[in-house]
A and B are shown apart, each in its own frame.
Chain A
Amino acid sequence: MATEDARYRLSSQYRLWSFSPSQLASMREKSNALARASISQRLSSPGYHPPAASSLSTSSLNLSAPTSSTNTPDPEAHPSGTPSGPPPLPEFLTPAEELVVVTFYTSELLRAADHAQFSDEIKATSAAFFRRFYVTNSIMTYPPQEMLIVALFFGCKAEGAFMRITDFIKTFGREHPEEILAGEFLLCQGIRFAFDVKHPFRALRGAMMELRRMGIPGEELDKVERRAKEILRFSPLITDAYFHYTPSQIMLAAMSLADRGMAEKLITHTFHHTTSKNTDGDGGDTPGNGGTNGGNTGNARGRNMEETIGAQIRDKVLGAIESCREMLAKEMPERREHWTNKQVFKAHVQPIRKKLNKCKDPDRWNLVELQRARREQALKRADSEEREDGGGGTGTIDDDGAVFGDVAPQRDPKRRKVVAKGLEDPFGGPL
């Protein structure tokens, strides 16, 4: 096995955030289903009333329902003939619709990053964070408009550009730093603390170096590199390429979109080993002496070479790159305008957004309120008060218990934590 592959397999990108298409789809379905269950549970719970419809009489409402009216379902949206009981459940987004919204907001994120003039790495990292976050969290649970800014802010940090939060909010026209900071830890949890995202940008440089050494004229290469970079800046970020392919495959796919012959030349040059030919003869890419695991006999070494840079694996790599190329071709850089286009927005995104406004999670949508509620709850817990007065946060926890199958009402938070977290799972078991 190639040493480079072995090293790549150790990265968190491979271990935690690489999935086959079917896996990714089933995960999205699952988080969609979870969100549906929890939101419908919350909307129909007796403690919840749309704040606009009922007066803010109890303290619990203050906590559970965000004060800003934009954060709650519009009561007018429900059929007027509803009885006074719990309002009927809104129509939820399907996983496919969610994906459209996520893609739309990803393009928004890239636009925002362009506006703030961030580097390619920051853009790409933020976009990857954003998309990863919404794999395991539904877009109905947390507000994408907010998470996008949070992802940008944290992407800056992850790439080593430490902006002041005050400068940052000025850039994006926000008023309070809390709006961004509230979601920061949430994002970190959502991306499972995998802060290192591997990008194909440097890989493109490396490939260009190799091609240059092969003696391909510089002007030609510059042209290919420019185009490939343009593609890399947009296409893989807005698609699921980062989940399904490794950076080098993405890079080669982008290169093949720019110049198919060039990419194939590099691949055939790299995987040049043939069983009949003496591989060392042409002094190609193989390291000269026993580079592969110290295979002593020529036979073992040959087999090793065959596995690493042989014709069979070459065909497989070509296949992977071809499928990646297809994926990228769906979102070429020229489609940047597609997502900002008013008509497209109205036709495809706006209806879903309207739907989203009705079915969003009442407890989680406002990140600042959510964090404040959690803080207060923590304080309450610290004072070891009776939790009968029932803040919104308390409601949240209990609802979670009911939603995620932990039905037994366990009032003791510590015991609850032990039961819920389980021992085998460092991230905590499902609630």
Chain B
Amino acid sequence: MPPKSSSFGAGARAGTSSSGGGLPALSSDDMCPVCKTIRYLNKDMEFLIHPDCYHSMCSNCVNRLFNDGPNQCPYAGCHKTLRRKGFRAPFFGDLSVEREVDIRRRVAAVFNQVEDDFETLLDYNNYLQMVEDLTFELVHGTDQKRQQAEAQLQAWEAEHKADIERNRRAGREADDLQRRRIAAERDAARQRRIEAIKEAEEEKRERVRSREAELDSMQTGEAGGGGGGGQRVQLKRRGQVNKNTADAAANMIQDKNAAAAAGADGLGVGRLSIRGLKEKKRPPPPEGPYDPFGGLDFIPSRYTLEPKGTLNHPALDHWRLDQGHITGGYSFDEYISRAMFDAFAGLGVFIEDEKELGGQTGLSAGQVATIGGGIGAVGDKMELDAS
């Protein structure tokens, strides 16, 4: 629980000024309000605060007072019991800012709904307004109001623990994603730079080589033609290199565009436009791997093919010796399984019952007849189209 707003920053300052007496204004940065050590004596003096009361004191005092366990805040009138563990160096010079930032951080951790959780923008804005009011009361409100706000905050936290946790995780994932994207971009950039350097080196080497070739050809006598050839070769290579770089540039631009698009997506989560708190959508159950047979089960239920070799037919023996079948990789097990399937498939299909019911599988007789009649007649046209 933060202390009274009047008691901390102002109190600290009052302490220093009163103890400083007539000394030229000693800022709180220069003297520890507890032990009165001044920076002049201890160059490495570091001030720590505890987020319970925001009373600053030097690290020596903290060690001295709290090493042996919890102790009362040494400030006069402050009865907070502090622990060594809670002390930290303030980030902001102004401790009231430090405190406000802490409070805002805490509120933000609890009220972590994002725009997508709301149905309308108005709802989201109302929500933001509510959160801001609460924060203001926590930071600047009177004692009573602050307590009230604190109670509200805790109630909300207790009530929506699961949601908060979920949002927090989602936020963290988004952050992770962003971080990874940035890292990947950086990687790509580095890769490009290395490639560019390599290319430049390659080009340089190429130039040297072609120059040598030119010299060689001049040496062997066919000066004019050889020189021209070398030139051409070089020009051609350069052209190629240029083209390569152009390609690379195009790729780079594409990458950048993609990255930008992705970035926009990432930002979209945090953008300020909203709808009212949506009905929580349950994540769809995992679909599992794609099944090309639409859930058909191929394990036979009326017969078994195991153990192998127990099923046979004398008519097959002849074919087992047939060269044409063996060399073709014909599987007799395949034939056996098919024959067994044929023998038992549809045993439990009672066409009369099922088709009379019609419904999901069959057309009614009338429909079929109409269709049939239609085909015969439509035939005229279809055939016309074909011919």
Residue ranges of A at the interface with B (Cβ–Cβ < 8 Å): 1-10, 14-15, 18-24, 26-27, 30-31, 34, 135-137, 141-142, 185-186, 189-190, 192, 198, 200, 202-210, 212-213, 218, 222, 243-249, 251-252, 270-271, 285-288, 291-293, 308-309, 313, 316-317, 320, 371, 374-375, 377-378, 381, 393, 396-397, 400, 404, 413, 417, 420-421, 425, 427-431
Contacts and interface: CB of A to CB of B under 8 A. Distances in A.
A218 B312 CA distance: 11
B263 interface: no
Contacts, number: 263
B376 A8 contact: no
Given A293-B297, A431-B378, A185 B365 contact: no
A317 B355 CA distance: 16
Contact of A206 (B299, B344, B386): B344
Contacts of A9: 346, 349, 361
B313, B348, B381, B383: residue with the most chain A Cβ atoms closer than 10 Å: B348
B323 interface: no
Contact of B344 (A10, A248, A287): A248
**6 closest residue pairs by CB, A with B:** A136-B372, A246-B346, A206-B343, A206-B339, A23-B365, A30-B369
A198 B384 contact: no
Contacts of B351: 14, 18-20, 243-246
B336 A249 contact: no
B6 interface: no
Contacts of B311: 209-210, 212-213
A27 B340 contact: no
Contacts of A222: 314
Interface in B351-377: 351-353, 355-356, 361-362, 364-366, 368-377
Contact of B297 (A6, A19, A209, A288): A6
Given A5-B349, A8-B349, A205-B343, 9 more contacts: A4-B341, A7-B296, A14-B349, A21-B352, A30-B369, A30-B373, A186-B379, A189-B376, A431-B378
B369 A209 contact: no
B302 to A, nearest CB: 5
Nearest to A142: B376
Interface of B: 296-304, 306, 310-315, 336, 338-353, 355-356, 361-362, 364-366, 368-387
A136 B373 contact: yes
Main secondary structure of the interface of A (DSSP, over half): helix
A23 B349 CA distance: 17
Contacts of A210: 303, 311, 340, 343
Contacts of B343: 202-207, 209-210, 248, 251
Contact of A4 (B346, B350, B381, B386): B346
Contacts of B385: 378
A425 B371 contact: yes
Nearest to A308: B301
A293 B302 CA distance: 13
Nearest to A10: B296
A18 B362 contact: yes
Nearest to A138: B376
